[in-house]
Structure 1
Amino acid sequence: MSEWIHTFEDWLLEFGSIGLFIVSFMESSFFPIPPDVLMIPMGIANPDRAFWYAFLTTAGSVLGALLGWYIGKKVGRPILRYFIKEEKIVKVEQYFEKYGAMAILIAGFTPIPYKVFTIFSGISRVKIPTLIIWSIIGRGARFFLEAAIIVALGDKAMPFIEENFAMLTAGVGGVAIVGYLIYLFVRKAKKV
C-alpha cells in the first residue's frame, strides 16, 4: 500500500502546483494523502514559492472542505466509518461538543485526518460560512507555518518539521483555543 502511495505522490509532483491543489482539495473530503507531503518538498525545492504553495494548499483544502461538508450532510456517519475507526469518530464528536464549530480550527492541528472534521461538520449541520472561516484560519495557519519554516530553514526544514511540527501545531492550537475562549468571555461580559 505505501509503495502505491509513494508512486502516486511522485506522479502528483510532476503536476506541480496543479497536483498540489488537487491533493489539497481531495484530502479535505475523501483522500488519504495529506497535502503536506507535496507542499513541503515543493517549498524546499523552490523556497521563493513556499508561501504561494501554502496559499494553493489552503485554498484547495478549504474548497475540499465544502465537498466534505456535503458528503457528511448527504451520507452522514456511515461514510466516516469507511474512513476511520470508531474511537476517532468519538474523539471528533467530543471536539465538536466541547468547542462547537471551532473544532474545525483545531482540526488543522491534530493528527486526525481533516476530512473527518469536514464530513462531521456536514453531519452536525455547521453553517457553510462558519466552515469556510474556520477552515481558512486553521488550514492556513498550518500551511503558512510550514512555509515560514521552509523559508527560514531551507534544506533543514524537512527534518525540523518531522521532529517538531506536532509540538508546534499543538502550541499554536492551544493559543487559538485560549484566544477563542477569551473572545467568548469578553463577548459574554459585554452582554451583561
Structure 2
Amino acid sequence: MLRRLYDRTMALADHPHALWWLAAVAFVESSVFPIPPDVLMIPMILARPSRAWLIASVALVASVAGGLLGYAIGALFYETIGQPILQAMGKGDAMEAFNTKFNDFGFWAVLGAGVTPFPYKVITIMSGWTGMPLATFMATSVLARALRFFVVAALLRVFGAPIRSFIEHRLGLVFCVFIVLLFGGFFALRYL
C-alpha cells in the first residue's frame, strides 16, 4: 500500500497543477501523511530548475501551515481526551513534568524533526500536546523547514540529476549528523 501511495505521489510531479499538489502534500505531511514533500519537489525541480526557489517556497509555506494543523491536533485532542484519561489514572502530574522537559528542549525538537527524516508530524502534534509556546513553534518550524527545502532546492539547482541519489538516500543522514554536532557543541560549551 505504501508503495502505491509513493508511486501516486511521484505521478503528481508531472501534473499541470503540480505546485498545488506539492502544497497539499506538504500541508498534510506535517500532520498526518506518511510521504514527505521531497518526493514531489525533487522531480519538479529537476524538470524545471529555474523554478527551484518557487517550489521550495510553496513547500515551506504549506508545510508550516500543516504544522499548525498538527499543533492544533495535539492541543485539542490532549485537552479533550488525553488529559482526562491521565488524570483518571493518576498520571496528570507525570505528564506535567514531561511537558516541561519537552518544552525546555522544544526548539531543538522542532528543529531536529524539521530538517531530518524524523517524522515532523510527530513533533508538530507533540508541540501542541505539551503546550509549547506557539511563537517558538512557528519560528522554529519556519527555520527548520526553510533549511530543509531550500538546501534540497539549491543542491538540485546547482548539481541537477546527479545529486538526486544523494538527496534521496543520504541527505537525511547529513542533517542528522549536523544536529548531533550542533547538540554536541552546545553540550561541550555548557558542561566542559
**Which TM class, normalised by the smaller chain length?**
0.7 to 0.9
Q: By how many angstroms is 1:24 displaced?
A: 0.6
Q: Is the 8 A contact 1:13 1:20 kept in 2?
A: no
- In structure 2, list runs of 5 or more residues that go unmatched: 83-98
How many residues get paired? 171
Cα distance in structure 2, aligned partners of 1:137 and 1:172? 15
Kept after mapping to 1: 8 A contact 2:103/2:132: no
- With normalisation by structure 1, the TM-score equals 0.77
Q: Which residue of 1 aligns with 2:7?
A: 6
Q: Aligned residue for 1:39?
A: 41
Taking the TM superposition and a 5 Å limit, the aligned residue runs for 1:43-58 are 43-58=45-60
Secondary structure of the structure 2 residue equivalent to 1:76:
helix
Aligned 8 A contact 1:44 1:157 in 2 = no
**Aligned equivalents of 2:170 and 2:132: distance in 1?**
32
Match of 1:109 in 2: 115
| Kept in 2: contact 1:72–1:119 (CA 8 A) | yes
Name the counterpart of 2:75.
Answer: 73
Q: Structure 1 unaligned runs (5+)?
A: 80-92, 186-192
Distance 1:9 1:107 in 2: 23
Aligned match for 2:166, one of 157, 160, 170: 160
The letter of the residue matching 2:54 is: W
Counterpart for residue 150 of structure 2: 144
Does the 8 Å CA contact 1:73/1:125 hold for their aligned counterparts? yes
Identity %: 37
Task: Name which of 121, 124, 128 aligns with 1:122.
Answer: 128
CA contact (8 A) 1:96 1:102 kept: no
Secondary structure of 1:108's counterpart equals: helix
Cα deviation code 1:70-126 (max 9, x no counterpart): 0001113989xxxxxxxxxxxxx8x93672332101112333211100000001101
Q: Secondary structure at the match of 2:174?
A: helix
Residue 57 of structure 1 deviates from its aligned partner by 0.6
- 2:113 is matched by which residue type in structure 1? A
1:71 corresponds to which letter in structure 2? I
Provide the C-alpha distance between the structure 2 equivalents of 1:5 and 1:177, rounded to a whole number of angstroms.
33
Between stretches 167-176 and 60-69, larger displacement belongs to 167-176
Distance of 1:66 and 1:177 partners within structure 2:
26
Aligned to 1:27, which of 11, 26, 29? 29
User: Rg: which structure is higher?
Assistant: 2
Distance 2:47 2:30 in 1: 25
Question: Per the alignment, do residues 171 and 51 of structure 1 end up closer, same or farther by CA in structure 2, a change over 3 Å counting?
Answer: farther
Measure how far apart 1:12 and its partner are. Answer: 6.1
TM-score for both structures, normalised by structure 2: 0.77
Q: Distance in 2 between matches of 1:32 and 1:67?
A: 15
Task: Give, in angstroms, the shift of residue 6 of structure 1.
Answer: 1.4
| Aligned-residue RMSD, C-alpha | 2.9
